[in-house]
Structure 1
Amino acid sequence: MNYINERIAASFCAQGMMATLGASLVLATDGEVHISLPFSPHLSQQHGYVHAGAITSIIDSACGYAALTKAPPECEVVTAEFKINLLRPALGRCFLAIGKVQNAGRLLTVCTGEVRTFAEDDSAYKVVALMQATIVNVPR
């Protein structure tokens, strides 16, 4: 496992929210992170869709961890702001949040992300949500 994977995996394991949701870290590479979330009725809203709060949480974390792959070793990251577009109801058996760094500066990193839901056979997906986020490097 390389430094990026170790750094992201250690931080992910320390995050209570992802554990509470049942999310898992799938991929951590330079500037990109994937987080998976299986459907659970415990995460649904009144119509049976996965709640927007759960969708927002996984995409915010994917963007934040993508930014952390670019942050200096002496820094952690926090989200300063984000904009999310919920494109369709979050229906499906599994959701994948993909966060990507678009620009990494000295203090601020701009990321984009999307959440995908997959067909039963994983042959196709639909985008459920899009996000743009600004992440801040903060000294440890």
Structure 2
Amino acid sequence: MELDLDLARKVLAAQPFSRLLGARITEFGDGAATLELDIRDELRQQNGFVHGGVLAYAADNTLTFAAGSVVGANLITAGFTVDYMKPAVGAILRARAEVVRAGRTRVISRCDITTVDGEGGETLCAVAQGSIAVASDR
């Protein structure tokens, strides 16, 4: 099944956890995807930074959506790594992922996670790479 931006948004909206976080897909297609969410107090840890688990969620979902733009919707994350580089502070969390290599059974994607301040400036906070498995028919 080929995905487009509207269908990708419907898939995201069908994920209860994504709805809880207020995530939205702003770009999708041609081996890339961008996911954003507004930074609010409930997403912060005790020092005021966005919790690392939120950054990991953004990486996981965006890596998989980028893969889906190439191979379709029948996917599951096989594994991913996140390297945290700077504390995440700002108004918006943005994750941009692109496919590095798409195979028949696995897709490798990489993702940059940034924060956007109130004036539109971006700061790179984390990078991620993931292996996305093309799921067999159940």
1:103 alignment counterpart: 101
Aligned-partner residue type, residue 86 of structure 2? R
Using the TM superposition, give the Cα deviation of residue 30 of structure 1 relative to its aligned residue in structure 2, in angstroms: 1.5
CA RMSD of aligned residues (A): 1.5
Using the TM superposition, give the Cα deviation of residue 3 of structure 1 relative to its aligned residue in structure 2, in angstroms: 4.4
1:135 and 2:125 matched: no
Aligned-partner residue type, residue 44 of structure 1? R
SS at match of 2:96: strand
1:78-117 matches, within 5 Å, as 78-117=76-115
1:61 alignment counterpart: 61
TM-score (norm 2): 0.92
Aligned-partner residue type, residue 125 of structure 2? V
SS at match of 1:69: helix
- What is the alpha-carbon distance in structure 2 between the residues aligned to residue 103 and residue 115 of structure 1? 20
Question: What does the per-residue CA deviation read over 1:27-74, in whole Å, with 9 as the maximum and x for residues that have no partner?
Answer: 1112101011111100111111110001110111011001011114xx
Stretches (4+) displaced over 3 A: none
Q: Is the CA contact (8 Å cut-off) linking 1:4 and 1:30 kept in structure 2? A: no
- What is the alpha-carbon distance in structure 1 between the residues aligned to residue 33 and residue 93 of structure 2? 14
Aligned-partner residue type, residue 25 of structure 1? I
- What is the alpha-carbon distance in structure 2 between the residues aligned to residue 116 and residue 16 of structure 1? 23
**Alignment gaps of 5+ in structure 2:** none
Aligned-partner residue type, residue 134 of structure 1? S
Q: Is the CA contact (8 Å cut-off) linking 2:95 and 2:114 kept in structure 1? A: yes
**Alignment gaps of 5+ in structure 1:** none
1:28 alignment counterpart: 28
SS at match of 1:61: helix
Q: Is the CA contact (8 Å cut-off) linking 1:18 and 1:58 kept in structure 2? A: no
Q: Is the CA contact (8 Å cut-off) linking 2:81 and 2:130 kept in structure 1? A: yes
- What is the alpha-carbon distance in structure 2 between the residues aligned to residue 130 and residue 3 of structure 1? 25
Using the TM superposition, give the Cα deviation of residue 25 of structure 1 relative to its aligned residue in structure 2, in angstroms: 1.1
- What is the alpha-carbon distance in structure 2 between the residues aligned to residue 65 and residue 53 of structure 1? 18
- What is the alpha-carbon distance in structure 2 between the residues aligned to residue 136 and residue 81 of structure 1? 9
What is the number of equivalent residue pairs in this alignment?
A: 136
